[in-house]
Structure 1
């Protein structure tokens, strides 16, 4: 099967690409020219990289379509100085363009990557544009799902090796590994469903294996089904690093406005497909640290 993936150099994208190549899929990844492809298996003959800046969409889809599925992993969190228009362009207008081409050229399935942040109506202030763009695109997908089958994957707090440097778990790992004197944190009682990246990639791959069964709009929440406090995650990570003396200064930072107090996935739909998480919190953190020993952060 031929799969088109956006965000192939991102955290989820590169793990998913490696997983799909191992299952003998033909993968075409849409990337920006400035993407870091150092951890992609670029020598694999089943992987093709296409740069967005050079893309003639009509000629590309005429030459490569039909795709068995399009998997949209790319996202713009708007955490930097990104304006609303840029976030909407990346998270709404561009994937809508791809959706239109998928419909025109008979794509078998459109898989969208969504976020647990969209569970509540009031988004955290620094993610408002991101959550709004995700909501709007999800509504477009629902409207078009009578024409092209859609699976919306709502991810909980994904963590694991090779995540972005600005992400919370990467920051904590980096500070603990250098034995920083102090890490300032909020009170840490907010709870998240920490799901290891390999479990997430397996969930996407399983959905692709069931491709012919999908009709209309389907949604899968991807997590472990259990939540753990930020305190528990950070403390567990610290305790697994021998000789770490970092002081965790709980309560030094204020809670963000509209912070979600507790979030965890309803994984019943995935369980019905035959998926189950293989990594609990301790196992996931252990594998994260073992990966660091060999490959670094």
Structure 2
């Protein structure tokens, strides 16, 4: 049985990844805090071995048996006014210690969910800088015996995401309100990727490591299609049957708003991966799983 170690296992991405690995017969070890909420994993928690990183050393995980793969999904965005030191501790110091231990133990693959923002976007500067920092450490420290996949993940969405995120927030507003919904002009174009398509992308990497170059490599993980925020919101509005009025242009853009964010998934596609879930189907899945309706 192959062994995977997932950071951020109780989060949006981590819970979907853990559930899929368990169903495929992997032994899953999840790194979390002692205070983490396990509700996203209630159906598979008994099949996951949890390690509280604030209470035990990483050595306990690696000394018994080193995992075949580490999947690093934990992150802090700084949206809750966390100081830069806390953002760096989560996004640089912790994964760096994990990478060092993985290298010493001969782990074959380290998958890092990487950032796609630039420092021009000031609302997430601490997050962006810290993620870029760890990426460079990965480039520096990865030996030829390991495959470090720096997976640049574009705008994942799906069931179980935090209610404050853009997609669940818009769905909830469209469902619950007949009042006007104030929006920017909505010309920003983003590459939205359904969470299960992200999971299958990681499986593609895990199932065929020999097809990847040795050492450090960066791959884009996205659909390759950027849709406007206006189109995306209008799709949610239609699928939810909302009676609210969408007032595009009622709000200004943020300073240095990112107007185009689009992946180039050619390298992943060359490995046999293809995204399968359309925007409309993804929204319907969220409605069914998070809101209990078709």
TM-score if structure 2 supplies the norm length?
A: 0.94
Secondary structure of the structure 2 residue equivalent to 1:221: strand
Q: CA deviation at 1:194?
A: 0.9
Secondary structure of the structure 2 residue equivalent to 1:53: coil
Provide the residue aligned with 2:21 in structure 1.
Answer: 20
Write the deviation string for residues 23-67 of structure 1: whole angstroms up to 9, x where unpaired.
Answer: 10110000112211112146565421111122122333212x311
Provide the residue aligned with 2:90 in structure 1.
Answer: 90
The match for 1:140 among 137, 141, 145 is: 137
Secondary structure of the structure 2 residue equivalent to 1:259: coil
Secondary structure of the structure 2 residue equivalent to 1:54: coil
- When the two chains are superposed, the root-mean-square deviation of aligned CA atoms in Å is 1.7
Do the aligned partners of 1:18 and 1:41 also contact (CA within 8 Å) in 2? Answer: no
Matches within 5 A, 1:65-144: 65-117=65-117, 120=118, 122-144=119-141
> Residue 292 and residue 44 in structure 1: after superposition, are their counterparts in 2 closer, same or farther (change >3 A)?
closer
Provide the residue aligned with 2:57 in structure 1.
Answer: 56
Secondary structure of the structure 1 residue equivalent to 2:39: coil
Provide the residue aligned with 1:229 in structure 2.
Answer: 228
Do the aligned partners of 2:34 and 2:52 also contact (CA within 8 Å) in 1? Answer: yes
> Residue 19 and residue 123 in structure 1: after superposition, are their counterparts in 2 closer, same or farther (change >3 A)?
farther
Distance 2:128 2:178 in 1: 33
Q: Which deviates more from structure 2 when the two are superposed, residues 285-294 or residues 249-258? A: 285-294
Do the aligned partners of 2:8 and 2:75 also contact (CA within 8 Å) in 1? Answer: yes
The match for 2:184 among 176, 183, 186 is: 186
Do the aligned partners of 2:287 and 2:293 also contact (CA within 8 Å) in 1? Answer: no
Distance 1:4 1:141 in 2: 17
Do the aligned partners of 1:224 and 1:280 also contact (CA within 8 Å) in 2? Answer: no
Distance 1:43 1:233 in 2: 32
TM-score if structure 1 supplies the norm length?
A: 0.93
> Residue 101 and residue 165 in structure 1: after superposition, are their counterparts in 2 closer, same or farther (change >3 A)?
same
Q: Which deviates more from structure 2 when the two are superposed, residues 247-256 or residues 154-163? A: 247-256
Q: CA deviation at 1:291?
A: 2.1
Count of equivalent residues: 291
> Residue 189 and residue 221 in structure 1: after superposition, are their counterparts in 2 closer, same or farther (change >3 A)?
same
Matches within 5 A, 1:251-290: 251-290=249-288
Provide the residue aligned with 2:202 in structure 1.
Answer: 204
Q: CA deviation at 1:240?
A: 0.9
Q: Which runs of 4+ in 1 moved over 6 A?
A: none
Matches within 5 A, 1:234-253: 234-242=233-241, 244-253=242-251
Do the aligned partners of 2:160 and 2:290 also contact (CA within 8 Å) in 1? Answer: no
